[in-house]
Amino acid sequence: MNETYECDKCGACCQGGLIVEADWLDLSREPRLLEADRHRAGWTLDEALTDLEEPGKAMIVAAGCHCPFLNGDNHCEIHPTRPTVCVGLQAGDEQWQAARKDAGLEPLLPLSEQGELCECEKPGHFHSGVPGILAHVENGKIAADAKVERCDLCARYPTDEAAREKLIELGKICEADPASEGETGDRGELVVWILTIHTESSPKLTVWKTYESTRLGLYDHVK
């Protein structure tokens, strides 16, 4: 019998571990996707749609950084009209579990193995995505000066300090780097994206895309 999984709103799949791309149909359905594509900054919707009509063309919504449509409560602001690749990502599948692992989270358990969730694990303003820790997440990260507390109900951590140390260990607390602020790239890198899409007809259909990135260091991040 196939197990049933349910999204727990951890936000891991939207925080940069996976590449989110969109095609002509996606942009037609949700025009706001154009705002996320720096490669086509300043383009009109008609210009972008015409460009995406060419075979193999796609736009990058997120890669190596959190999705711009992920809000502070780990909710997708365009969920009803999200890209097809996001729709194809199913709770509990291989990519889903890999994203959770990269975010330092435990694997998502099927509903048959889940007990009653603690309040700290339920979606809300202080849902950190890490069981036992209360902290507000914004744009996929927790601010360096944000308040971090252990959950007194499940008491997975002995102190608030221990909870903060865990978030630092997982890389979820944002550390500002003044030296890198405002840095822009003046060179182009040709990056080959390998994207695995799960479909009913083919569990693993590998699609190769090329995307010219002018963001300095992005190539080094993904290679």
Q: Where are the domains of the chain?
A: 1-113, 116-179, 189-222
- Across all residues in the chain, what is the average pLDDT? 76
Query: Per-residue pLDDT tens for 150-180?
Result: 998 888 888 999 999 888 887 788 765 555 4
Predicted local distance difference test score (pLDDT) of residue 213: 36
State how far the Cα of 165 lies from the Cα of 1, in Å rounded to an integer: 40
Per-residue pLDDT at 146 exceeds 60:
yes
Confidence of residue 128 (pLDDT cuts 50, 70, 90): confident
Predicted local distance difference test score (pLDDT) of residue 43: 94
Predicted local distance difference test score (pLDDT) of residue 23: 95
Predicted local distance difference test score (pLDDT) of residue 193: 36
Residue 133 and residue 167 in contact, taking contact as beta carbons nearer than 8 Å: yes
Predicted local distance difference test score (pLDDT) of residue 26: 96
Predicted local distance difference test score (pLDDT) of residue 199: 37
Q: Which of 14-23, 25-34, 211-220 has the lowest mean pLDDT?
A: 211-220
State how far the Cα of 172 lies from the Cα of 179, in Å rounded to an integer: 20
State how far the Cα of 61 lies from the Cα of 213, in Å rounded to an integer: 12
Q: What pTM was computed for the model?
A: 0.51
Triad 42, 47, 52: Cα angle to 5°: 110
Signed CA dihedral, 78, 83, 87, 93: sign only: negative
Instruction: Report which of 96, 95, 167, 165 is spatially closest to residue 131, judged by C-alpha positions.
Output: 167
Q: What single string gives the DSSP state of each residue in 40-62? A: GTT--HHHHHHHHTSTT--EEEE
